[in-house]
C-alpha cells in the first residue's frame, strides 16, 4: 500500500498496490503492521456499508464528539463518490479546512480519516456503495452534522445534491461550541 499525506493534517490517502495476472487482481487493503509504521490506528471496531441507488445522493457531513470520536477508513466498493473530509479539531493546523477526492471502484483509493474530522459524500453514479471501517461504536447523543453548504467552509461540490436526509438538509450552521 502507498500512504500519502493530504492538505488536512492526519488525513491519509491510501492506494493499494495491485497484483495483476490472468485471474484478475489481488490487493491488500489493510495491514495493522503497515498502519502502525505510519502511526495510524491499527484496529477498527466495526465495518459498515452504505448503499446509494441514485446519483446525487448526499450523506454528511457527519462526525461524533468526544468521548466518541471515530477514526474511519473509507473506500468506494461500487460506483463513484465525491468524498469530503472537514477538519473540526480546533488545535489542528488545518482547522476548518477541507479536502475532497473522487473515490471509485476503479481507482481503489481509500481515505484514512482521523478523529475530529467530519465526513461526507455525494454519489456520482447510480448504484454506489461505500465501505467503512470505524474505530468506535455509534453513539446517537454524540453525533453531529455540518451542513453540506455551510458558508463557513465554502465546500465546492461537483453538483447540487438531489437526495439527502432531512437531518442533513436542515442541520444548523457550524458552531465551534458544538464540537
What amino acid positions are annotated as catalytic residues?
62, 132
**Residues 77, 49 contacting (CB under 8 angstroms):** yes
| H-helix segments, the chain | 32-37, 166-170
Pull the grid cell for residue 60.
Answer: 454528511
Is the Cβ–Cβ distance between 81 and 131 less than 8 Å?
no
Rounded distance between C-alpha atoms, residue 46 and residue 53, angstroms = 23
In this structure, what C-alpha cell is assigned to residue 127? Answer: 448504484
Amino acid at each position: 500500500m502507498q500512504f500519502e499525506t493530504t492538505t488536512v493534517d492526519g488525513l491519509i490517502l491510501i492506494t493499494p498496490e495491485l497484483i495483476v495476472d490472468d485471474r484478475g487482481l489481488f490487493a491488500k487493503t489493510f495491514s495493522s503492521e503497515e498502519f502502525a509504521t505510519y502511526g495510524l490506528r491499527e484496529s477498527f471496531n466495526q465495518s459498515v456499508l452504505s448503499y446509494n441507488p441514485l446519483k446525487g445522493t448526499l450523506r454528511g457531513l457527519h462526525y461524533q464528539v468526544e468521548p466518541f470520536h471515530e477514526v474511519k477508513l473509507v473506500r468506494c466498493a461500487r460506483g463513484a463518490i465525491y468524498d469530503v473530509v472537514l477538519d473540526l479539531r480546533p488545535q489542528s493546523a488545518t482547522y476548518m479546512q477541507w479536502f475532497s477526492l473522487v473515490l471509485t471502484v476503479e481507482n481503489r483509493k481509500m481515505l484514512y480519516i482521523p478523529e475530529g474530522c467530519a465526513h461526507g459524500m455525494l454519489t456520482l453514479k447510480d448504484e454506489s456503495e461505500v465501505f467503512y471501517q470505524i474505530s468506535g461504536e455509534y453513539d446517537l447523543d454524540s453525533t453531529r452534522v455540518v451542513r453540506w453548504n455551510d458558508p463557513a467552509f465554502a465546500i465546492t461540490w461537483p453538483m447540487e445534491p438531489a437526495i439527502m436526509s432531512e437531518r442533513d438538509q436542515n442541520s444548523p450552521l457550524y458552531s465551534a461550541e458544538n464540537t
